[in-house]
Amino acid sequence: MTIDKQALEDALDFDLFAGDFGDSDDVELSNKIVTGRGEYTCFICYGTIVKGEIHRSAVHKFDGELMTYRACNECCKAMVSSVNYDFADDNDDGQEPIDARYALGESMYFGWEYQEIIKALCDGRLVLAESQEAAQ
């Protein structure tokens, strides 16, 4: 599944934030394709980046705070496709593969949130308005 570093270099051209953080306080300190020395979480799909996986690591400074963003191998490949616009050939609907990776991350993220809500309901930290009324 892993492709070599050279093939992923194009992923570096993919704008990670697509204008979301357009303010001048954002400074990109580094942006490179690296080999993982530990386990990380991909910030796009929320998947695990395993040790030894070739992935993108970008360090940014937002409001004086250093943030490292890591994108897994699969997401990097999707970025390469987006950068090179070669997705149009394989995909009838022309959807960018990176959008599918972001969608995956969103479903994982909301899955986690959902689990947190269920946990909070179970141990009584969170009470729904409706059940409050029912209890009275």
Q: How far is the CB of 47 from Zn ion (least distance, A)?
A: 5
Q: How far is the CB of 18 from Zn ion (least distance, A)?
A: 16
Q: Which is nearer to Zn ion, 51 or 119 (CB)?
A: 51
Which residues, 6+ apart, have CB-to-CB distance to 18 below 8 Å?
none
**Reading across the β-sheet that carries 54-62, which strands appear in turn?**
27-35, 54-62, 65-71
Which residues, 6+ apart, have CB-to-CB distance to 2 below 8 Å?
53, 54, 73
DSSP for residue 43: T
Q: Which is nearer to Zn ion, 11 or 44 (CB)?
A: 44
Residues at the interface with Zn ion (CB under 5 A):
42, 44-45, 47, 72, 75
Burial-class residue 42 by CB neighbours within 10 Å (0-12, 13-18, 19+): buried
- Are 61 and 27 contacting, i.e. CB atoms less than 8 angstroms apart? yes
Q: How far is the CB of 76 from Zn ion (least distance, A)?
A: 8
Q: How far is the CB of 117 from Zn ion (least distance, A)?
A: 25
Q: Which is nearer to Zn ion, 16 or 60 (CB)?
A: 16
Q: Which is nearer to Zn ion, 9 or 46 (CB)?
A: 46
